[in-house]
Chains A and B, each alone.
Chain A
Amino acid sequence: MIITRKVEFSASHVCRVEGFSEEENRRQFGTAANQHGHGHNYVLEVSLEGQPDPVTGMVMDLKELKEILNRQVVDLYDHRFLNYEVPPFDRLVPTTENIARDIWQRLEPHLTGSGRCLHAVRVYETPDLYVDYFGEQPCSA
Chain B
Amino acid sequence: MERINRIFRFNNKIAFNLRLGLPILFLCVIGLIALNSTSLDTLGQHSVFYKQCIWILCGLLVFVVIQFLRNQVFYEFSYIFYVVLLLLIGITLFMPAIKNSTRWILIGSYQFQPSEFGKVIIILSLARFIADYKETLSDHQLIISSIIISIFPLLLIFKQPDYGTGLMYLLPVLPMLYWSGVKTKNILLYLFPFVSMITAMHLMSYTLWMILLFIILLILQFKAVIIIFNFIINIIFGLLNAYIWNNWLNEYHRDRIWDFIQNLLNPDNTDHMGIGYQAFQSKVAIGSGGFFGKGVGEGTQSYLRFLPIKDSDFILSVISEEMGLFLILIIILVFLAFLYVTINYAQQLFNKFYSLSCIGFSSILFFHIIINMSMVTGLFPVIGLPFPFISYGGSFMVSCFIMIAIINNIVHNDL
Are A and B associated in one complex?
no
By a beta-carbon cutoff of 8 Å, the part of chain A in contact with chain B is none
By a beta-carbon cutoff of 8 Å, the part of chain B in contact with chain A is none
